[in-house]
């Protein structure tokens, strides 16, 4: 039996010369928890070329969605960026990951801090009814270099608020704060700075981070993770896991350096 499912590309959407999303068929037996990642890829000359990808669609969706970088000389994405409807994609059978609500103890506000394609797991979580049942407020932040790189998250949040299934639950609970680091925009700066200088909370009109009521998930580059983890730990947040749920969890959006 093959280690991978072979699925079909249903649609592809390009946002910038470095970002795109695509949807594929979902095998009936494929189950995952919102926030998890799975190996996906393409047939290679000798063996399949697979990479880790966060599942961007919610668990109730009949299709699977992914949000991807295009690395010009990247082994996978130099090819993946050219996929079109009807093409075949290999899908791993075992989704895993730490960005799951099971790894957090109950709280009132849930913060999702993301940079770049690190928004992908939160694209799944903000469409999950269970998240709105567990928390009074869901605050998702997305930081990119340019405004164009925020298109996917901005459009998605808008569609969630208008969605038949989750729109009613998300309205009044889901807040979206985006910022850019390399061009002028309504809000500028790295998420770490916006937390530390209080601007994030000014924009929200809310109090700063508090481990007694807040839970946090973080997804971005290695540098972003290190800096953001250091900040939340300074606030007193303790790292959680499936085995020992606590206040915050994190996951690398990719291996290597970046935004």
Cβ proximity to ligand FAD, 232 vs 259, nearer residue: 259
Count of C-beta atoms within a 10 Å radius of residue 243: 7
| Residue 150 and residue 144 in contact, taking contact as beta carbons nearer than 8 Å | yes
Choose the stretch contacting ligand FAD; rule: CB under 6 A; options: 64-72, 154-162, 189-197, 235-243. 64-72
Minimal distance, residue 65 CB to ligand FAD, in Å: 10
Q: Does 250 bind ligand FAD (CB under 6 A)?
A: no
- Is residue 142 a contact partner of residue 224, using CB atoms and an 8 Å limit? no
Name the DSSP letter for residue 150. G
What are the structure tokens assigned to 189, written together?
């700066």
* Shortest distance in whole angstroms from residue 216 CB to ligand FAD: 18
Using CB under 6 A as the criterion, what x/- string covers residues 104-123 for binding ligand FAD? Answer: ------------xx--x---
Q: Which residue in the set 37, 112, 152, 250 belongs to the binding site for ligand FAD (CB under 6 A)?
A: 37
| Residue among 83 and 203 whose Cβ is closer to ligand FAD | 83
Contact (CB, 8 A) for 107 and 214: yes
Report the Cα 216 to chain-centroid distance in Å.
Answer: 13
Applying CB under 6 A, among 74, 129, 185, 245 the residue interacting with ligand FAD is 74
Shortest Å distance, C-beta 77 to ligand FAD: 3
35 binds ligand FAD (CB under 6 A): no
Establish if 98 lies at the interface with ligand FAD (CB under 6 A).
no
Rounded least distance, CB 220 to ligand FAD, Å: 9
Exactly one of 77, 146, 151, 181 binds ligand FAD (CB under 6 A); which one?
77
Q: CA nearest 54: which of 112, 105, 97, 1?
A: 97
4, 90 Cβ separation under 8 angstroms? yes
Phi-psi region of 75 (alpha: psi -120 to 50; beta: other; left: phi over 0): alpha
Is the alpha carbon torsion for 5, 6, 12, 17 positive or negative?
positive
Binding residues for ligand FAD, per CB under 6 A? 37, 51-54, 67-69, 71, 74-78, 116-117, 120, 251-258
């Amino acid at each position: 039996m093959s280690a991978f499912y072979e699925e079909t590309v249903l649609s592809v959407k390009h946002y910038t010369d470095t970002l795109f999303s695509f949807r594929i068929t979902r095998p009936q037996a494929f189950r995952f928890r919102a926030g998890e990642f799975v190996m996906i890829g393409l047939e290679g000359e000798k063996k399949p070329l697979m990479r880790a990808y966060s599942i961007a669609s919610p668990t109730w969706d009949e299709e699977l969605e992914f949000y991807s970088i295009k690395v010009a000389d990247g082994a996978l994405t130099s090819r993946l960026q050219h996929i079109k409807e009807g093409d075949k994609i290999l899908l791993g059978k075992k989704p895993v990951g730490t960005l799951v609500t099971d790894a957090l103890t109950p709280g009132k506000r849930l913060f999702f801090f993301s940079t770049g394609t690190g928004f992908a797991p939160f694209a799944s979580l903000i469409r999950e009814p269970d998240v709105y049942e567990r928390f009074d407020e869901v605050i998702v932040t997305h930081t990119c270099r340019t405004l164009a790189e925020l298109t996917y998250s901005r459009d998605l949040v808008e569609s969630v608020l208008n969605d038949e299934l989750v729109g009613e639950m998300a309205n009044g609970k889901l807040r979206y704060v985006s910022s850019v680091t390399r061009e002028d925009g309504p809000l500028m700066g790295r998420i770490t700075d916006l937390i530390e200088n209080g601007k994030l909370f000014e924009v929200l009109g809310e109090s700063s981070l508090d481990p007694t009521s807040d839970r946090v998930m973080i997804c971005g580059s290695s540098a972003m993770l290190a800096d953001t983890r250091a900040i939340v730990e300074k606030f007193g947040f303790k790292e959680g896991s499936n085995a020992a749920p606590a206040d915050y969890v994190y996951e690398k959006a990719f291996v290597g350096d970046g935004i």
